[in-house]
Structure 1
Amino acid sequence: RQNFKKIVKDAGIGDIEKSPILEKRGIVLIRSKKQVGPSAFRSRMAPFMTRAEVKTEVPVYSIGKTTVVLVNEFIVQFKSNISQSQINAFIRASNATVVEKHSKIKNRYILTFEGKTPKEALSLSNMMHQADQVVFSEPNFIQIIPSRPKIKSFGSTGASPSSPSPATTTPNDPLFSQQWGLNNTGSVGVAD
């Protein structure tokens, strides 16, 4: 891994981003340098695709400041009238493997397609989505959320621990303002 990191750095492509959840899946996320455009990035990456330790490239998308990585896992919801034996037969016929059965939502599974790249698995998932037994089949994307900036100590800004600024207490969720139940105004009691 260290050797691969050095090769990437020496090629001037970008930097390897540390991501334990991706590393667990054997995925290395390479962030391109800002001055390296998409076509230059792809041409500089071409020699890496022939290396023994590289199995495939994985699609990575950006949504705002969040990076979304396609992995070989898919959330599949079977129709409510489908029996467990029918689900098991369908999964076997699809050459899929159950990663997890949802504990609270009936007939919902996370599936993987052994030996397939994420792109190949996406095609299989799309075909599965068309089946009569299935409500939906969608990618179980891995989201890489940027680290929060380090908060200055209370002593350096003159603020006291009892009055943190809204910037340090409000989540970066774009829908936070619509979630009225999550905004704690500091009240300790409830109205009668």
Structure 2
Amino acid sequence: MEFNYWSNGKKITLKKSETYRASKENGYGESKYKSFTSNLKPKTTDLKNGIILETISQVSKTTSFSRKTQREDDDLLVLEAEDKTPMILTNQFIIQFKPDVTREEINNINESNNVKIIENINWEENSYLVETTEGKAVSALEIANTYHENDKVIYAQPNFVRLLKPMAAISNDTYVNKQWALNNTGQTGGIPGEDIHISEAWKITKGNKDIIIAIIDEGVDYKHEDLNVSDKLVTGYDACYKRNDPTPKSADAHGTACAGIAAAKSNNNKGIAGVAPECKIMGVRIAYGVIEGGERLWVTDDAKIADGIVKSVDRGADVLSNSWGGGEDSQTITNAINYAKRNGRNGKGCVVCFAAGNDDGSVSYPGRLDNVITVAACNEYGERKSKTSRDGEYFWGSNYGP
């Protein structure tokens, strides 16, 4: 069965996942679904946000379950993007009303649709995160589409919970000789010179202490010895919990690695050298990791992603580094990126960078937007990083194309 929503004037179609189902936890970190055979249960993952994810494919056909698959009348519904990213439909969605619609009119419309406001989205005029009081995911999708057709509404879309995959960073620093991307001498078996020619770049600049790079990711470890130095770190932000501490969970190292690649301190006899070691870092946490099926996945949602992007801009970031992507278009996320391009750097617009993706296929959203810089991967031989390229890492390949 297919399900549709609207984003940036386009009708987006998602299919119901045949791999996962989801439910609200029962207060004990358990799914509401109960097996009639207590010693045979599906694999479950607690997403730490009140949602339990279950793997349908691991449920034995001989096991008797109250429901083996997700139904349209469930509280939650796991849908799947074209790139296979799971997008969980909840009872929340995001609305932007036209500027001349009053709060009284908004309240009346919401009341007539059994909708209540959870949060004002302050960076976007007349925008709100809302939820249906009925609590059913498909009801929320249907109501969001109803709002989309209302002549008082600019857009309405589900606040999808997205399960994303984080994307993979010449001095006296301890491990700089391993950084072939900076200076390739063939030290890892590659072709000398297949690198970014950092020595030539550093003769021009090593960055500037007035430039702030926001690492929008799963958090940044501000205690790391290559980052916790003078004139390096500015106040960060955690969009997951709305606080000024971007500290990641202990296993969530991706954002710290990305921060190091961008701007780790150089010539300090430790760690690595960042590409722009004189620039400042702003850690912005938009997601956290969970293990599902032996693979690390990010848990986040459209509202949190947009909040992290906008906070980066409002706090003075010049460059927004986003090593993530996946799933279908979100008008909320796209609007936040447009906000950065319109308002950053005192109206000149932020430099916004995204990863192309690691699926060896077409470029992931938001990397396919035309106002961002999208970064793909090559290897130490100068080849596009693919599942068959000579580096030997056959489990991933860089996305490519328009």
One of 15, 19, 25 as aligned partner of 2:47: 19
Indicate the structure with greater helix content. Answer: 1
1:1-192 pair list within 5 angstroms = 1=28, 7=35, 10-11=39-40, 14-21=42-49, 23=50, 27-33=51-57, 47-48=66-67, 56=74, 58-63=76-81, 64=83, 66-146=85-165, 160=175, 163-164=178-179, 169=258, 171-172=323-324, 173-174=355-356, 175=367, 179-180=372-373
CA distance in 1, matches of 2:39, 2:167: 29
Q: Which amino acid aligns with 1:160?
A: Y
8 Å contact from structure 1 (residues 65, 146) kept in 2: no
| 1:15-61: CA deviation from partner (whole Å, max 9, x where unpaired) | 1013112x2xxx32102337x7xxx87x9685148xxxxx9352212
| 1:65-109: CA deviation from partner (whole Å, max 9, x where unpaired) | 532100110111111221222222222222210011111111111
CA distance in 2, matches of 1:160, 1:71: 45
CA distance in 2, matches of 1:134, 1:11: 48
CA distance in 2, matches of 1:3, 1:116: 19
Query: 1:83/1:2 Cα in 2 relative to 1: closer, same or farther (>3 Å)?
Result: closer
CA distance in 2, matches of 1:33, 1:73: 27
% identity of equivalent residues = 18
Query: 1:123/1:3 Cα in 2 relative to 1: closer, same or farther (>3 Å)?
Result: closer
CA distance in 2, matches of 1:106, 1:73: 19
8 Å contact from structure 2 (residues 45, 53) kept in 1: yes
Q: Which stretches of structure 1, 4 residues or longer, exceed 6 Å deviation after superposition?
A: 165-168
**Larger CA deviation: 77-86 vs 55-64:** 55-64
CA distance in 1, matches of 2:368, 2:160: 21
Query: 1:32/1:161 Cα in 2 relative to 1: closer, same or farther (>3 Å)?
Result: farther
Q: Which amino acid aligns with 2:130?
A: L
CA distance in 1, matches of 2:143, 2:121: 21
Displacement of 1:180 = 3.5
8 Å contact from structure 1 (residues 80, 107) kept in 2: yes
CA distance in 2, matches of 1:88, 1:162: 61
CA distance in 1, matches of 2:141, 2:64: 23
Query: 1:31/1:182 Cα in 2 relative to 1: closer, same or farther (>3 Å)?
Result: same
CA distance in 2, matches of 1:123, 1:58: 14
Query: 1:60/1:80 Cα in 2 relative to 1: closer, same or farther (>3 Å)?
Result: same
Aligned length: 159
CA distance in 1, matches of 2:180, 2:160: 33
Normalising by the residue count of structure 1, what TM-score does the alignment of the two structures yield? 0.62
The Cα RMSD (Å) is 4.1
Q: Which amino acid aligns with 2:175?
A: S
8 Å contact from structure 2 (residues 140, 158) kept in 1: no
3-state SS in 1 of match to 2:43: strand
Indicate the structure with greater strand content. Answer: 2
Q: Which amino acid aligns with 1:110?
A: L
CA distance in 2, matches of 1:135, 1:88: 16
CA distance in 2, matches of 1:44, 1:80: 54
| 1:158-179: CA deviation from partner (whole Å, max 9, x where unpaired) | x915755769658243328974
8 Å contact from structure 2 (residues 96, 128) kept in 1: yes
Q: Which amino acid aligns with 2:52?
A: V
CA distance in 2, matches of 1:9, 1:165: 53
Query: 1:57/1:114 Cα in 2 relative to 1: closer, same or farther (>3 Å)?
Result: closer
3-state SS in 1 of match to 2:140: helix
Normalising by the residue count of structure 2, what TM-score does the alignment of the two structures yield? 0.33
8 Å contact from structure 1 (residues 65, 145) kept in 2: no
